[in-house]
Amino acid sequence: MRTTMWLAVAIVIFISAAEALQCEQCSIGVLGRCLFPDQVNCHESSPNCYTGEAQFNATGFLKLHTRGCLDADLCNQTITGTILGAGFTSSFSCCSTDLCNGASALHTPLFSLTLSAALVAMAHWLR
């Protein structure tokens, strides 16, 4: 009886893990490229893959990108707000198949150049 119970628990865990949606995750990306890509399995509370974009209204040209798992309430939404007095607009686009939000990696030399340019632009703007 005890063996049957443990076998049933193992089957439920295996089925739950197999059903989890797999998404590309990117905490930050610049120029449409992910800086540190990874793959994650989404939880039931965030059942969609997403691609997000944030743009600071004052600069207009600098867009930051994110990817990962997202709650359905935020899918296909646009949000506006401010950080340290700088206005921004963020939008989220969702999909629901494995790795449907595919990201590509950015190589280190271009990453360093892009990050430096972004920091200089932000420092100049915040003066």
Residue 36 CA to residue 16 CA, distance in Å, equals: 27
pLDDT at 11 over 70: no
- pLDDT on residue 42: 96
Q: DSSP per residue over 35-93, as a string?
A: SS-EEEEPPTTS-EEEEEEEEETTTSS-EEEEEEEE-GGGTT-EEEEEETTEEEEEEEE
H or E stretch including 58?
none
Task: Evaluate whether 33 touches 106 at the Cβ level (below 8 Å).
Answer: yes
Per-residue tokens: 108: 């280190």
Collapsing DSSP to helix, strand or coil, 91 comes out as strand
Which domains does the chain show, CATH number per domain?
Answer: 22-126 (2.10.60.10)
Higher pLDDT, 3 or 91: 91
Going by C-alpha positions, the residue among 14, 79, 26, 74 that lies closest to residue 46 is 74
State mean pLDDT over 27-46.
89
- pLDDT on residue 125: 59
Give strand pairing partners of 25.
38
pLDDT at 95 over 70: yes
Task: Evaluate whether 37 touches 106 at the Cβ level (below 8 Å).
Answer: no
Per-residue tokens: 12: 């439920």
pLDDT at 34 over 90: no
Phi-psi region of 17 (alpha: psi -120 to 50; beta: other; left: phi over 0): alpha
